[in-house]
């Protein structure tokens, strides 16, 4: 789906690159979570994936289209959609359906087809009954789901979520995560950038960035077993894993497979 | 001194078709030295409540007594109140504007008309309380330090006013995991060791459990719950009905109890839960 080859990006006036010689392949249909401390280069990397930024050195390929070629830009942005952090900064229309139609209209999609796309996208995010509502009256989680529907209406193959759950209340976060999981089931390629470690356990693959480089790359189980290393990049552990590790080191015979809450509860029920 | 709200309501656009209550008939009392968490869905009135406590908004009905100062719908001079009650807004670092960290933190106390030596003392003290190294940071630009440090500088600016009550609106939003943990620890020691009254809005139940002893749940401007933290997070169903959650560790304990395991409480911290589980397993 996406290949980065020796990609470096330096912002104008900066002495050091924000992304430093990254080579990475993201497979079609995979669910990748990207973590790293503030300033480690995550958002810059995300913006290189759909030509919002063009590498200073190296190449980014989206389905064999180089993001450097200006002719490819619209095709690439159609394929790789982005959802950002603040729901209030992303919505521009006064009615939900117009908001969702914004992308495909700009792509020149036929009106009948746009109707179909609106219906389908709103269905996918569970917001069909809000079609005629004004977006500013919705909750944070609902606004983010409308932003996702707007991206889905462009029929992308991949969606990048840049801390899209950071500003939401517990209910809103839950709604957006459920939506992301449902998209994963439909084989959407997903890159989720987050500071919430517990969101990383659902991924097929976890990437850790530090100083513009990808410093760790593996399954959630592998990544969260490398305790010292993860700490050295200023990352923390999801509390469920923290509890499991604490119990294990105190002598309880827990399997090393525990990532999620239900796994821990099942294990503890067996032992207690 | 303490904080008392008596039947406080705040209505936006009263008398029009857009009339809505941001706060409805709120009565509560917060003692000196308490640490209180405020939770609730977006738009439930949490920030509006904080703005009443430091007098940025006046109630349209009811009254407040904050640190001995009476607040009602009548206009009055509230500068004394603002000294005693500090409010840290969301993303407070957006409001940093001075050339140096020191000047930024000094802005408030200088405006109070304090003598320069006293201002210096306050700045150094506020930086120390926020875990900021004075020697290496005071003459740096607030725009050239890390995100976590910027947030601390912004909070130090409020602490330099020497408030008795510190209120923070989502203090860790947008911080990375380490920045979040460090700030939580700093705030907890401000409360525990320096006895400052702490009122914190957060969407993270883990943070509320870590920092606070008491939790208020607001929904549609009304107080739905006012309990000790450990009691509040026992009632998983109630929290969910109100669009909230419980700390993940409380949920683990809750599910173990549901499965008939012998735990009396839904401990919310990893350490407490581990201790209880190890004891139940005969490992302690």
Q: pLDDT, tens digit, for every residue of A145-185?
A: 999 999 999 999 999 999 999 989 999 999 999 999 999 99
Contacts of A117 (CB under 8 A, 6+ apart): A100, A101, A104, A109, A152, A153, A155
Same domain, A94 and A30: yes
Same domain, B239 and B186: yes
Task: Please say which residue of A206, A227, A248 terminates a domain.
Answer: A227
What pLDDT digit, counting tens, does each position of A250-272 carry? 999 998 889 999 999 999 999 98
Phi (first) and psi of residue A175, to 5 degrees: -60, -45
Per the prediction, chain A carries an average pLDDT of 94
Same domain, A220 and A249: no
Whether residue B198 contacts residue B190, with contact meaning beta carbons closer than 8 Å, is answered with: yes
Same domain, A12 and A94: yes
Could you tell me the residue range of the domain that residue A261 belongs to? 238-272
Residue A202 CA, distance from chain mean position: 12
Positive/negative CA dihedral, B42, B44, B45, B50? negative
Q: What ipTM does the predicted assembly reach?
A: 0.87
Rounded Cα gap, residues B85 and B198, in angstroms:
10
Q: Beta strands B214-219 and B222-228: pairing type?
A: antiparallel
Measured N-to-C along each axis, helices A170-185 and A140-152 cross at an angle, to the nearest 10 degrees, of: 20
Please check whether residue A220 lies inside any domain of the structure.
yes
Domain total in chain A: 2
Q: Which of B250, B152, B252, B254 is nearest to B205 (CA)?
A: B250
Taking contacts as CB-CB distances below 8 angstroms, the residues of chain A near B40 are 169
Whether residue B176 contacts residue A37, with contact meaning beta carbons closer than 8 Å, is answered with: yes
Please check whether residue A233 lies inside any domain of the structure.
no
Structure tokens at B61: 């009905």
Phi (first) and psi of residue A7, to 5 degrees: -85, 125
Q: Which of A190, A153, A144 is nearest to A49 (CA)?
A: A190
Taking contacts as CB-CB distances below 8 angstroms, the residues of chain B near A200 are none
How far is CA A205 from each of CA A36, A136, B160, rounded to the nearest angstrom?
A: 14, 35, 45
Same domain, B73 and B120: yes
Same domain, A253 and A173: no
Same domain, A192 and A67: yes
Same domain, B162 and B261: no
The answer to whether B14 contacts chain A (CB < 8 Å) is no
Instruction: State the nearest Cα–Cα gap between B130 and chain A, in angstroms.
Output: 19
Longest dimension (CA), chain A: 64
Query: Which of B39, B40, B41, B42 best probes binding to A when mutated, by most A CB atoms within 10 angstroms?
Result: B42
Could you tell me the residue range of the domain that residue B269 belongs to? 247-284
Same domain, A104 and A132: yes
Q: Of A139, A195, A247, which is closest to B176 when you measure between CB atoms?
A: A195
Rounded Cα gap, residues B233 and B140, in angstroms:
43
Q: Of B206, B259, B278, which is closest to A239 when you measure between CB atoms?
A: B206
Whole-number pLDDT of residue B284: 61
Question: What average pLDDT does this structure show over B177-191?
Answer: 94
Same domain, A24 and A72: yes
Same domain, A91 and A217: yes
The answer to whether B57 contacts chain A (CB < 8 Å) is no
Whole-number pLDDT of residue A89: 81
Q: Which of A225, A210, A207 is nearest to A25 (CA)?
A: A207
Please check whether residue A232 lies inside any domain of the structure.
no
Same domain, A205 and A262: no
Q: Does B1 have pLDDT greater than 90?
A: no
pTM of the model: 0.90
Same domain, B67 and B193: yes
The DSSP letter of residue A52 is: S
Phi (first) and psi of residue B227, to 5 degrees: -145, 165
Same domain, A154 and A255: no
Same domain, B167 and B38: yes
The answer to whether B249 contacts chain A (CB < 8 Å) is yes
Whether residue A271 contacts residue A252, with contact meaning beta carbons closer than 8 Å, is answered with: yes
Same domain, B162 and B265: no
Quickly state the pLDDT bin for B78 (edges 50, 70, 90). confident
Phi (first) and psi of residue A267, to 5 degrees: -60, -45
Whole-number pLDDT of residue B195: 93
The chain A residue lying nearest B244, using CA atoms, is A170
Query: Which of A169, A196, A237, A253 best probes binding to B when mutated, by most B CB atoms within 10 angstroms?
Result: A169
Same domain, B126 and B265: no
Whether residue A218 contacts residue B245, with contact meaning beta carbons closer than 8 Å, is answered with: no
Same domain, B218 and B156: yes
Whole-number pLDDT of residue B16: 85
Domain total in chain B: 2
Taking contacts as CB-CB distances below 8 angstroms, the residues of chain A near B271 are 246
Same domain, A157 and A249: no
Whole-number pLDDT of residue B109: 94
What pLDDT digit, counting tens, does each position of B113-144 carry? 999 999 999 999 999 999 999 999 999 999 99
CATH number of the domain to which B58 belongs: 3.40.50.300
Same domain, A166 and A266: no
Same domain, B152 and B283: no
Instruction: State the nearest Cα–Cα gap between A70 and chain B, in angstroms.
Output: 34
Q: Which of A163, A194, A199 is nearest to A181 (CA)?
A: A199
């Amino acid at each position: 789906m996406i290949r980065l080859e020796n990609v470096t990006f330096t912002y104008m006036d900066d002495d050091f690159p924000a992304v430093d010689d990254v080579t990475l392949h993201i497979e079609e249909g995979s669910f990748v979570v990207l973590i790293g401390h503030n300033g480690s280069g995550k958002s810059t990397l995300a913006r290189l994936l759909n030509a919002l930024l063009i590498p200073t050195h190296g190449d980014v390929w989206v389905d064999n289209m180089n993001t450097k070629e200006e002719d490819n830009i619209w095709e690439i942005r159609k394929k790789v959609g982005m959802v950002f952090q603040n729901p209030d900064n992303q919505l521009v229309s006064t009615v939900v359906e117009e908001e969702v139609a914004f992308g495909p209209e700009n792509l020149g999609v036929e009106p009948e087809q746009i109707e179909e796309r609106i219906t389908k996208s709103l269905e996918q995010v569970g917001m069909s009954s809000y079609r005629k509502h004004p977006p500013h009256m919705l909750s944070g989680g609902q606004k983010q789901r409308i932003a996702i529907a707007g991206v889905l209406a462009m029929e992308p193959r991949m969606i990048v979520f840049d801390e899209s759950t950071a500003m939401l209340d517990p209910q809103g976060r839950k709604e957006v995560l459920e939506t992301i999981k449902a998209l994963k089931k439909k084989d959407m390629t997903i890159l989720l950038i987050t500071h919430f470690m517990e969101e990383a356990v659902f991924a097929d693959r976890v990437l850790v960035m530090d100083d513009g480089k990808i410093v760790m790359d593996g399954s959630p189980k592998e990544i969260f077993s490398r305790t010292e290393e993860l700490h050295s990049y200023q990352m923390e552990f999801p509390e469920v894993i923290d509890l499991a590790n604490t119990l294990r080191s105190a002598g309880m015979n827990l399997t090393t497979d525990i990532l999620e809450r239900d796994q821990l509860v099942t294990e503890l029920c067996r032992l207690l | 001194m303490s904080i008392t709200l008596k039947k406080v309501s705040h209505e936006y656009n009263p008398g029009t078709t857009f009339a809505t209550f941001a706060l409805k008939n709120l009565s509560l009392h917060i003692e000196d030295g308490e640490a209180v968490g405020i939770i609730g869905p977006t738009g439930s009135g949490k920030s509006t409540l904080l703005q009443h406590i430091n007098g940025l908004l006046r109630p349209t009905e009811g009254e407040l007594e904050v640190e001995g100062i009476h607040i009602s719908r009548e206009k009055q001079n509230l500068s004394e109140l603002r000294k005693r009650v500090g409010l840290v807004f969301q993303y407070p670092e957006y409001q940093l504007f001075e050339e140096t960290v020191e000047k930024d933190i000094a802005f408030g106390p200088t405006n109070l008309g304090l003598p320069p030596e006293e201002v210096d003392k306050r700045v150094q003290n506020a930086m120390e309380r926020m875990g900021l190294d004075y020697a290496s940071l005071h003459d740096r630009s607030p725009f050239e330090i890390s995100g976590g440090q910027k947030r601390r500088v912004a909070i130090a600016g409020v602490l330099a006013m020497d408030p008795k009550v510190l209120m923070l609106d989502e203090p860790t939003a947008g911080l990375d995991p380490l920045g979040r943990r460090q700030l939580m620890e700093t705030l907890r020691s401000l409360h525990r060791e320096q006895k400052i009254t702490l009122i914190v809005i957060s969407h993270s139940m883990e943070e509320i459990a870590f920092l606070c002893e008491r939790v208020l749940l607001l929904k549609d401007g009304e107080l739905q719950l006012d309990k000790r933290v450990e009691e509040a997070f026992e009632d998983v169903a109630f929290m969910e009905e109100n669009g909230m959650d419980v700390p993940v560790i409380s949920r683990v304990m809750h599910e173990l109890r549901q499965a008939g395991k012998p735990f009396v409480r839904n401990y919310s911290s990893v350490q407490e839960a581990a201790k209880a589980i190890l004891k139940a397993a005969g490992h302690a």
